[in-house]
Amino acid sequence: MNATTETVQMYRVYIRATPEAIWEAITKPEWTVKYGYAPVVEYDLRPGGAFRAHANEGMKALGCPEIISDGEVIESDPPRKLVQTYRMTMTPEMAAEAFTRLTYDIEPMRGGVTKLTVTHDVTGAPMWAEVLRGEFESRGAGGGWSETLSGLKTLLETGQQLPFQSGPS
């Protein structure tokens, strides 16, 4: 890893869906299992509340631990903004990295379109930063935030799921 790696990653996507639908898709397990890495999320959406992402069956079959990430809710303003800490715990090396700061900004635009901006401050978590940029896609680790947000957009706009990298069988 070189010293010029960005520590704040920002991704923006425009989705033909309401802010409420996007909020639900981010925070409810019945939605999160349908896009991206397909974890089963658990949120206590109060400041100081816990966040956990549980491995799905496909991940467990690959040897992942039950809890693949954890953190704490810092700010929750449904359906506009969610700020949390986030740590990947899939491997001991990643679990040893610092907690990161993840922000979802959800802003209604025009014509039924909502802008979702994801800002992920990965300071102190260089391995996780590489995964989120999609640098391990060729090794089966998925396409990071770009793949996750593409899956979210596709699901909300069409009702269809993109194929999973490490999701359910």
CB atoms within 10 A of CB 98: 14
Task: List domains and CATH numbers for the chain.
Answer: 8-158 (3.30.530.20)
Task: Report cis status (omega within 30 of 0) of the bond before 92.
Answer: no
Cβ atoms 99, 85 nearer than 8 A:
yes
Residues 6+ apart with CB under 8 A from 39: 32, 33, 53, 54, 55, 56, 59, 68, 69
89 vs 100: CA distance, rounded Å: 12
pLDDT tens for the 169 residues of the chain, in order: 343 457 999 999 999 999 999 999 999 999 999 998 889 999 999 999 999 999 988 888 888 899 999 999 999 999 999 999 999 998 899 999 999 999 999 999 999 999 999 999 999 999 888 888 887 665 556 778 999 999 999 999 999 998 765 444 3
